[in-house]
Amino acid sequence: DQQVKQNSPSLSVQEGRISILNCDYTNSMFDYFLWYKKYPAEGPTFLISISSIKDKNEDGRFTVFLNKSAKHLSLHIVPSQPGDSAVYFCAATTTSGTYKYIFGTGTRLKVLA
């Protein structure tokens, strides 16, 4: 049972435009969400997170939106740059108890120059 889903395996965007990566979850206990970026042969790098008490968190070019009623989050990258080309993973966990982190299968973003 895949509790965190990234339904788009890949996405191509022109440099300078907005990249929108989506993630859906099923477990209503999740209240902390994270986005990671991964280059080949490297470990994931933390990008941005959001707690369920907020619906938006921004850090430079990266903004994460959370829609709790739809159990949906998205990562917006504006403007997109060629260096953003990587695989992006969303992850979810709960801040109560010691629940593990559940990762999506990733979306490969390609930013075209």
Partner 1 sequence: KAGVTQTPRYLIKTRGQQVTLSCSPISGHRSVSWYQQTPGQGLQFLFEYFSETQRNKGNFPGRFSGRQFSNSRSEMNVSTLELGDSALYLCASSLQGRGETQYFGPGTRLLVL
Q: Which residues bind partner 1 (CB under 8 A)?
A: 31-32, 34, 36, 41-46, 49, 89, 91, 93-106
Smallest gap from residue 67 Cβ to partner 1 (A):
19
Inter-residue contact 91 to 34 (CB < 8 Å): yes
- Say how many CA atoms lie within 13 Å of 64 toward its Cβ: 25
Smallest gap from residue 88 Cβ to partner 1 (A):
11
Q: Which is nearer to partner 1, 60 or 97 (CB)?
A: 97
Smallest gap from residue 49 Cβ to partner 1 (A):
6
Nearest to 89 by CA among 29, 6, 17: 6
Residue 12 CA to residue 46 CA, distance in Å, equals 21
Q: Which is nearer to partner 1, 5 or 61 (CB)?
A: 5
Q: Which is nearer to partner 1, 50 or 111 (CB)?
A: 50
Sort residue 3 into left (φ over 0), alpha (ψ -120 to 50) or beta: alpha
Smallest gap from residue 76 Cβ to partner 1 (A):
19
Tokens representing residue 97 in the block: 């108890």
